[in-house]
Every structure is written in C-alpha cells, then in structure tokens.
Amino acid sequence: MSANPIKAVYDQANRTLQAGDADEAELICRRALPHVGRDPNIICLMGEICLRQRRLQEAKSLYGEVLGKFEGFPRALEGLGLALLADKDAAEASKYLAKASAAAPQRSKTRMALARALAESGHIAESEKTIKEALELDPRQSDLNQAELALAGGDMEEAEKTLRKILSQDPNDIKALRLLSSIAVEASRFRPARKMLEHAVEVQPGFIAGWNDLANLLMKQDRYDEALKAVQRAIEIDPKMVHSWVVKGNILTRAQRNEESLEAYGQALELSPRSAGALSGMGHVLKTIGRQQESIDAYRKCIRNHPAYGEAYWSLANLKTFEFDENEVKVMQQMIEDKGLADEPRVNFCLALGKHFENEKDYDRAFEHYRRGNDLRRQNEIYDPVQTQVVHDRIIEVFNQEFLDEREGWGDPDPAPIFVVGLPRSGSTLIEQILASHSMVEGTMELPDLSRVIAELTRQSPGRVEYPEAVENVDKDAARAMGEAYLQTTMRYRTGSPYFIDKMPNNFSSVGLLQVILPNAKIIDARRHPLDSCLGSYKQLFFKGQSFTYDQFELGHYYLQYRRIMEHWREVLPGKVLDVHYENMVLDQENQTRRLLEYCGLPWEDQCLRFYETERAINTASSEQVRQPIYTKALNFWRHYERHLGELIETLEPLLKELPEEDQPPAIREP
C-alpha cells in the first residue's frame, strides 16, 4: 500500500471506471474495503457504479450508509438524489439535490441535476432559475453535465443537441467527443463516430477510454487489425488497465483468433482474478472451441463473484446441456424480483430460468419466464412488421423473372460459397456441422459480409438509391466486382479449403442478389416445423439483431414473410435452393446427408455421418448440441407449450393447415 492507501484505491478504481470498466472498478473497491474501512468516498464511488448499471436500490443503500454516518456529506446527497431521479421519484430527488447544492454551492453538476428534478416534478420556474445559476458557475461544464443527465435519462436528442453546442465552442473537448460518438454508435452511424474518436485521441494521445472506444467501434466494423492497434495503444499507456486486456480479448474472439483471445483474457485475470468481463469472455471462447467443462467453470466463477451478472447465467443456460444447482436457481429468482436491477440482466435471468424449468419439464413455469423476459426485451427493441413486408414487396418486384433472365451468367463464377439460410433455431448449425465435416468444406460462422456489400451498393448508388432498387443500376462488370468483393472480404475467415459456409440466416431475402453476383454459389434453406422454428427463436436471447423474435405475433408474421419470399425464389429460380427439413435429417440422416452432398457437388465421405466428432469452433447457440449424435427429442417440441402459443398458432394458421394432420395443432383442425 502507498502512504495514502485510501487515495491509491480510489484513484485506481476511478481511472478504471473512466476507462469504461464499471465491473472491475467495483471489484477494486470491494477488495480494498476490508483493508481501508468503509471510506465514504469509496462507498460513494461504488454508488456511482451502481447508478451507471441501473442498480438503483443498491445505489440508494450505499449513499444512505454514508449519510447515516456523515450527515450532510455532499457527494452522498447528490448521489442519492440522482438515484431517486433515475427511479422516477423526482420530488424526493429534488430534496436531496437541493441539500447537496447548498452544501457544494460551486458545483454546477449538482445544480443541473436539481434543475432536471425540479422540471420533472412540475416546478418549471424554479428549474429554469437553477439552470441559469448553473450556467453562471461554469457554462461549459454545465452543458456537459446536462448532456450526461439527458443520456442517463434516455433523451438522446437533447444530449446530442447539447454536445454539438459544446463542440461548436470547443471542437477539442474530448469528453464531448466521446459522448457524442457513443450516441452515433447507438444509431449505427459508425463513420462520424470513428472520426470523433480519432480526433479525441489525436488531441489527447493518452486518452485510454478513447482508444478503447475506438477499438470497440472498429471491432463492430470487422476491422480487426485496426482495432487491435487501437487497443494496443491503450495497453501501452497503462498495461495494468484490466479493461483494455478484456477489449483485446473481445476483438481476438470476434476475429476467431481463439487461442490468442484466451491469452488476453488470461492477462486480464492475472491483474484481476475476478474480472467479470474476462471470466465471461473466456467462458464464451472455451464454449466455442468445445472445452465445455472449462467454459462452465469460467462462467460459474463469474457468477460467484458477480451474482447480478445476468449474462453469465444466460450463457450457462445457453449451453443447452447445462443444469443449474439449487443455489443458482434461488439467486436468479431473487434477482428478477430486485426492483433496482436493470432491464438487460433481468432479461438474462428470466430466460435462463425459463430454460431451467424447461429442463425440469415444468413447461408452464418455463413459458412464464420466457414470456416475461421477451416482453421486457421487446420494449428495448425496434421492429416494424409492416416495414418487413414492404421491403420484401420491393425485393420481389425488382428480382422478377425478366430481371434475372437478363442477367444470367453475370457475377463471379467461383463456386466456393455455400449459404445456409432460413430462420434461427431451424437446424442450420446441424447442416453446417455436417458439411464442415467434409474434407473440402470449411465452416466459418454467420458472416456479415453480404450485408456490407449491399450497404456499399446503396452508398455508391447515384442519388443514393437504396437497395433493392439500387441493383437495377448495376452493370455486368459491377455485378462481378460485387461478387469478388464478397469473396475477398470473406478470405479472412478461411484457411484454404475449396468451399466455405456462410451461415447468416437472414441472407434468405438476398437469394436473387446472390444469383446476380455469385451465380454458382449453393444455397440451402434450413426448414423446420413452423411452430418449433418460431418457439426455438422465442426461447433464445440473441446478442443483437433478430428483433422480431420477442413477440408471438411479430415472430409469426416474420415467418410468413420468410416463407413468402422463399416461394418467390423457387418460382423465379427453380432448382437454385435446396430445402433441408430438420425433421427429415433427424429421422433419415444418411439419405439426407447424401442429398446434401450431391447438391453441393461433393463426393461422399463417411465422416459427415460422424459430424459430432469434428473439432472446430462453433459460434452459435447449438454448439454443444451438434457435438453429440443426432437425437429426436426436439421433434414437435412445440406440443409442450401449445396452450401458450395461441397468438402464434393463429398467425401461422395458413401454413399450419398445409401440414399433415398429425403435425397440426388440434385447435386448427377441421371438425
């Protein structure tokens, strides 16, 4: 310990928090408490961490503890006021913030928070007066505080407006640049976000948080080499900053450099053996490469140290073959009733409990937890079923028979890509694993490259005409160039096999485009009973995308649109797409495998029947299931939940009536 151990702990935790790693900052504080005592500033810093993570009840308790010992402590008064404000109790918040403002009259941030509480509790005139006072104290800092409060309250428009005002006065304000870039990233405006972060680290080369944010942004764009250079700058500035090593591990994981990512997470754990980010990240990688027990150990160590870290619980449930013990179930049940818990971990706990009760064959309780988690997640997703239908209408109109006939023979003729499309949880990973067991085929993952080709087409289109209409302006040379661009960018996932698999399910709407730019690519449609397919998606928590899966009506509507556009491709491109039904594959593995290999032009190899022996990284939710022989227990699994699927059954009724009677829900059968 240094001469002032409390200050050393506080400074280390605060630096870590400012770098973006709230979990590690909290660990630093908690590890130090037995040695330095319940120091009020350290307790208040822990309260700030809880506030950032929306653990409002815990934040109130921590600030209350400080005020119980040090009545009138300004930082605790402000923190408790902010916690109450975040908990929608503006009237009570204003009382504590007024006391904090009186105790620290020169602190503009407190006054800005008080102004917001007054406004939200209906005291508009007092709020405006308080804003004026804050601006007189420190106009620039007050504006930054106002932006931070707006962000915390979810008012992105107000925050962006305030931050742009700050930057118009000082284009080199690195805090404003970082906050504004975070808003841009949230809106998927990656180019301006990147420019802002690059400018911030140019202005302040030692800005660790800026380098880590830039690294994360570049990772989102799949620019892994550049992302690694950015995070390496952060590590060089402070090699003991755990968060930077976790970011490096995350980048290497996304780049499928799994052994290197384990080394980076290992370095983080040497610095902080209980780092949530490192333990969780290590668990993901170990799962991906098939080291299941080590993966479980990493996740369990994470939840022992971080009981509120919902992602680790869901990760365990998402192994599909894992069973929680009684204590773990009890913790999850307590967590979902904690009013201070943020939405994201609550969703994780709900779906993990759903899987637990499903394993117990208590399907009613399982569905109640699935429904609760999905309802909450849907509130934080943006999805418009009408927009899906409109986009599919436009695709069908553009890629008509005449359009495709006129472009026959266009594109890059390379036959290397094999696309597996369809809806999630429909057997696509099983198909991929069977094909990847062949000596001539390489499994990769759900690749984002085709969607990027489409985005670039729109960007370069004269007049910024959007896809699909933009493809009407593409000539023969440009079509070939688009195919070549896809093949070039996907090389980073390949190691030399003649064929490779792209398992992005949403590519089903792009079959027409693939015919134009990659005419010899193979396309396999992974099919499953509509109710099993949709139920599988409903029970799954996706990291991002698939926003249609959290509501029964929207899920059913999306499935209808998927089937509609696939019927269009069969009409205008007969023989182009191979349907592979999960049920047929499970019940008749050898014949279906022969059919699959024949379609892909591949010679027979017995190893494809022993796909579960194939050692390769698998990034999807089915990774553990396809590491075992085929089983039939998942067939017609929807029957366990039939009484809860009324809205989905009603939406899918037109398709369900086309099935054999024994595969139909009794509710729709003719009397």
pLDDT digits (tens, 9 = 90+) for 286-328: 988 888 899 999 999 999 888 888 999 999 999 888 899 999 9
- Statement: 385-634 belongs to CATH 3.40.50.300: yes
Q: In this predicted model, which residue has the larger pLDDT, 380 or 259?
A: 259
pLDDT at 624 over 60: no
Sort strands 577-581 and 441-445 into parallel, antiparallel or unpaired: unpaired
**pLDDT at residue 339 greater than cutoff 80:** no
Percent of the chain's residues with pLDDT above 90: 65
Q: Report the distance separating Cα 350 and Cα 294, nearest Å.
A: 25
How many of the other CB atoms lie within 10 Å of CB of 669? 11
Is it the case that residue 621 has pLDDT exceeding 60? no
Coil/strand/helix, residue 445: strand
Q: Which residue has the higher pLDDT, 630 or 225?
A: 225
- The whole-number pLDDT of residue 57 equals 84
Distance CA 358, CA 45 (A): 40
CB contact at 8 A, 631 and 585: no
At a CB cut-off of 8 Å and minimum separation 6, what does 233 contact? 201, 205, 211
Mean pLDDT within 563-572: 97
Query: So what's the pLDDT on residue 28?
Result: 86
- What is the rounded distance in angstroms from the CA atom of residue 586 to the CA atom of residue 532? 14
**Who has greater pLDDT, 139 or 641?**
641
What residues contact 215, with CB distance under 8 A and at least 6 apart? 227, 228, 230, 231, 234, 247, 248, 251
Closest CA to 340 of 308, 367, 384: 308
Tell me the pLDDT tens digit for each residue of 184-215. Answer: 998 888 999 999 999 999 999 999 999 999 99
Q: Which amino acid is at 186?
A: E
- Residues, the chain, total? 671
The single residue listed with the structure tokens 């005020």 is: 67
Please, which pLDDT band fits residue 19 given cuts at 50, 70 and 90?
Answer: confident
pLDDT of residue 1: 43
Q: Percent helix, strand and coil across the chain, each rounded to 5?
A: 70, 5, 25
Per-residue model confidence as pLDDT tens digits over 63-82: 999 999 998 999 999 999 99
Query: Model's pTM, two decimal places?
Result: 0.81
What pLDDT, on a 0 to 100 scale, did the predictor assign at position 86? 85
Q: How many CB atoms lie within 10 A of CB 545?
A: 14
**What average pLDDT does the segment 375-386 reach?**
91
Looking at the chain, the whole-number percentage of residues with pLDDT higher than 70 is 97
Q: What is the pLDDT of residues 107-119, one digit of tens each?
A: 888 888 898 899 8
What's the pLDDT at 54? 78
3-class DSSP assignment, residue 418: strand
pLDDT digits (tens, 9 = 90+) for 486-511: 999 999 889 889 999 999 999 999 99
- So what's the pLDDT on residue 645? 97
- Report the b/e string of 410-444 with b at 16+ CB within 10 A: bbbebebbbbbbbbbbbbbbbbbbbbbbbeebbbb
